[in-house]
Amino acid sequence: MHHVVLDEWGRRPGWLQKRDARVKLVALLGYLIALGTAPPLALPAAAGFGALAAAGVVLGKLPAGAVALRAALVLPIGLFLAAGLLLGGAALRAGDLLVRSYLSAVAVLVVMGTTPMAGLLRAMESLGVPRFLVVVLHFLYRYLFVLSEQAQHMRLAVRSRGLDRAGLRRCPSLWKAAGGALAVLFARSLARAEAIHRAMLARGYRGQVLWLRAARMRPGDWLFLAVALTLCAAVRVVLAHAG
Amino acid sequence: MHIPDGFLHPLILAGTATLSAVAVAVAARKAQRELEESRFALLGVTGAFVFAAQMVNFPLGFGTSSHLLGGMLLAVTLGLAPAMVTMTAILVVQALVFQDGGVLALGANVLNMAVAGIAAGYLPYALWSRGRLRWFAILAGGFLSVVASGAMAMAELVLSGVRIPAALLWSSAVLLTASGLLEGLLTLAVVRALRALQPSALERAQVRRSQAVLGVLAVLLAGGIVAVASEAPDVLDSLADRVGIAERARALLTTPLAEYRLSWAPGSWWSQATAGLLGLALTYGAGVALARALRRRRSA
């Protein structure tokens, strides 16, 4: 499953994994803004942005092939959106958009692959994202895979009671059945939320995730922040106009 | 439709990010008050439910199937503001973990799907949720939520200079209408089953007529941006002219690579890059300061 892969990458002994999550988040925004506001990418600029993303992959000891493959997930919708430009003969501009969206996805994956979700959410909160939204995100990420598994169990239960695809097709009120399945899943989710709520109150939860250790910036964090932002700005300003 | 990074014009990115940051901050505050902090797990778990629900396929015949998008279902079961917060959380996780939609484009995607989509979908429900038209309200709400957010996404792309030929535009419009109808029907199927199974799940949210105003605003916003995009796709260009970043916008909007090279006077990059960064830092600082001030006043 997806999250298992990202979590496994996050535990690798890379230099980027040790950096403060806030620094990585700010560097990611800097990279994306530099890339998003650059004029149409000529070869040097595209190579420069690509090199920055590749440096992140190396510093995080991430598997390059897997990152490249996962980042390709953005290409189908990108191709769909760029289809008009391709048909209209503006192939260069379409290629420019696709390269941008692909590089952005690689950058997001570098940060996600070197930062555990909990640390990332903590960084978001300290950078000013509303705390309530952060709490919702914590629970959403925690129960995402639990509920997906429950849906898979329900599907398995239907299958094991003898309803295969062909049988399903003959079923007269299939929509009703699917709607009912979702209603059951929803009702169970509500019951689960209620149980979590009581269990957490019993353990002293006060509406905020507490941490055992305060986040502290180390010299390496400042170094990374300064170098990353400088390089992003340099590629954006110098290479983007040198082409 | 989740817009990836790289497709939107910087002005659109900045505008939508500002709008949705304000809307989500207000919605988070309202949701927190409505739920009295006592149901903090509820929104996260229902958000996780939407992910799981996308694994349940509804057959459509012809060998195709579809799944629930969930915005309208969240609005009906949680209420307007909590649904917006939950949908925002869903979009954040989709962008970060599943590469579904960009991170910079999150502002646009949140505005389209979590803010305008849910507010527009809530409009018929806020008006007719108690009368005999109740089922129709859910159907229409599902339809409106999908069509409003899809139309806004298309308009933002056109405004950003992603040219879409008429034939493709029409087929997307047909597709959008069909998936809107489908979302309405799916939401209706789930809500009816839920009413038989656990009616209390539908009584959690208090529906207020006044919330229809937000729905009207959302429909007007969607209609307005579509009208601007269809009447004057180059409006950003002329706006950029006036603000004084014409060269840059033209370089972004029109293709020819050669043009911007000529039009870029050396030395102007630095001032523009610095101005852009400064503006960003100022906006962020102002936002954080405002949030701090509001928090202090509330706790005082």
Q: What is the C-alpha to C-alpha distance for residues A218 and A101, in angstroms, rounded to an integer?
A: 32
Residue B128 lies in a domain: yes
Phi, psi of B73 (to 5 degrees): -65, -40
Distance from CA of B162 to the nearest CA of A (A): 7
Better-scored residue on pLDDT, A34 or A159:
A34
> CB A86: neighbour CB atoms within 10 A?
14
Q: Is residue B2 part of a domain?
A: no
Helix-helix angle B134-159:B166-197, to 10 degrees: 150
- Which residue has better confidence, A57 or A174? A57
Map residue B66 onto helix, strand or coil: strand
- Residue recorded with tokens 């817009």: B3
Residues of A in contact with B295 (CB under 8 A): none
The answer to whether B65 touches A165, Cβ cutoff 8 Å, is no
Instruction: Tell me if B261 and A81 make a contact (CB, 8 A cut-off).
Output: no
Type and span of the H or E element at B60: strand B58-61
Q: φ, ψ for residue A90 (rounded to 5)?
A: -95, 60
Domain ranges within chain A, ordered by starting residue: 2-126+216-242, 138-202
- Looking at the domain assignment, is residue B71 inside a domain? yes
Chain B CB contacts of A43 below 8 Å:
none
Q: Which residues on neighbouring strands pair with residue B64, listed in sequence order?
A: B61
Q: Give one word for B62, left, alpha or beta, with left for phi > 0 and alpha for psi -120 to 50.
A: left
Q: Which amino acid is at B155?
A: A
CB within 8 Å: B59 and A174: yes
Query: What integer pLDDT is reported at residue B256 of this predicted model?
Result: 36
Across the interface, whether the CB atoms of A182 and B68 are under 8 A apart is answered yes
Examine the pLDDT at B300 and tell me if it is beyond 60. Answer: no
Of B142, B118, B136, B300, which Cα lies nearest the Cα of B218? B118
pLDDT computed for residue B127 by the predictor: 87
Q: A220 to each of A11, A12, A16, A52, A224, how far by Cα in Å?
A: 19, 18, 10, 18, 6
B75-102 average pLDDT score: 91
What does the pLDDT look like over B246-267, one tens digit per residue? 444 444 443 333 333 333 334 4
Among candidate residues B185, B215, B233, the one where a domain is terminated: B233
With beta carbons less than 8 A apart as the criterion, state whether A103 and A49 touch.
yes
Identify whether the C-beta of residue A21 lies closer than 8 Å to the C-beta of residue A220.
no
CB distance B119 to B221 below 8 Å? no
Per-residue confidence band for A38, with pLDDT thresholds at 50, 70 and 90: confident
B84 and B170 in one domain?
yes
For A106, how many CA atoms within 13 A lie in the half-sphere containing its CB?
28
| CA distances to A94, A124, B10 from B107, in Å | 23, 15, 12
Average pLDDT over residues A214-229: 89
What average pLDDT does the segment A152-168 reach? 76
- The ipTM (two decimal places) reads 0.90
Q: Which amino acid is at A35?
A: L
Q: Which chain A residues are within 8 Å of B199, Cβ to Cβ? A: none
| CA distance to partner chain A, nearest, from residue B128 (Å) | 22
Any idea how long chain B is? 300
In this prediction, residue A65 carries a pLDDT of 92
Measure B219 CA to nearest chain A CA, in Å: 24
* B2 in contact with A, Cβ within 8 Å: yes
In A, which residues are within 8 Å of B104 by CB distance?
Answer: 29, 32-33, 36, 104
pLDDT value for B267: 43
- Nearest to residue B44, comparing CAs of A200, A1, A210, A67? A200
Same domain, B65 and B181: yes
Q: With contact defined as beta carbons under 8 Å apart, do A123 and A116 qualify?
A: no
Least CB-CB distance to A139: which of B45, B55, B185?
B45
Establish if B130 belongs to a structural domain. Answer: yes
Task: Inspect the interface and report whether the beta carbons of B49 and A176 lie closer than 8 Å.
Answer: no
d(CA A131, CA B89): 12
Asked if B31 and A132 come within 8 Å (Cβ–Cβ), the reply is yes
Q: Are residues B123 and B205 in the same domain?
A: yes
* B248 vs A: CB within 8 A: yes
Strands (E), chain A: none
* CB-CB under 8 Å, B4 with A139: no
Averaged over A83-101, what is the pLDDT?
A: 84
Determine the distance in angstroms separating the CA of A220 from the nearest CA of chain B, rounded to an integer: 23
Which residues fall within 8 angstroms of residue A56, CB to CB, at 6 or more apart?
Answer: A16, A62, A106, A107, A110, A111, A114
Cβ distance A132 to B32 less than 8 Å, yes or no, reads yes
Q: Which residue has the higher pLDDT, A90 or B142?
A: B142
Per the CB < 8 A criterion, the answer to whether B257 and A40 are in contact is: yes
* pLDDT single digits (tens) A124-147: 998 889 888 998 999 899 888 888
Nearest to A193 among B42, B196, B261 (CB): B42
Residue B241 lies in a domain: no
Domain total for chain B? 2
A112-126, A157-171, B82-96, B145-159: which has the minimum mean pLDDT?
Answer: A157-171
For B168, the closest chain A residue by CA position comes to A84
- A134: number of CA atoms within 13 Å, CB side? 19
Q: Specify whether B88 is located in the same domain as B215.
A: yes
The answer to whether residue B174 sits within a structural domain is yes
Confidence (pLDDT) at A45:
86
Side chain identity at residue A241, one-letter code: H
Taking residues B212-219, what's their average pLDDT?
86
Cα–Cα separations (whole angstroms), residue B42 to A197, B52, B94: 8, 15, 19
Q: Which of B9, B5, B150 is nearest to A71 (CA)?
A: B5
Give A175-205 pLDDT, tens digit per residue.
777 788 888 988 888 888 888 888 888 888 8
Identify the domain containing residue B278 by its residue range: 267-300
Model pLDDT, residue B147: 93
**Does residue B284 belong to any structural domain of this protein?**
yes
Listed range (A54-68, A162-176, A199-213, B71-85) with the worst mean pLDDT: A162-176
- Among A25-39, A154-168, A223-237, the least confident range: A154-168
Whether residues B212 and B280 fall in one domain: no
Q: What is the CATH number of the domain that holds B90?
A: 1.10.1760.20
Range B258-285 average pLDDT: 52
Does residue B20 share a domain with residue B70?
yes
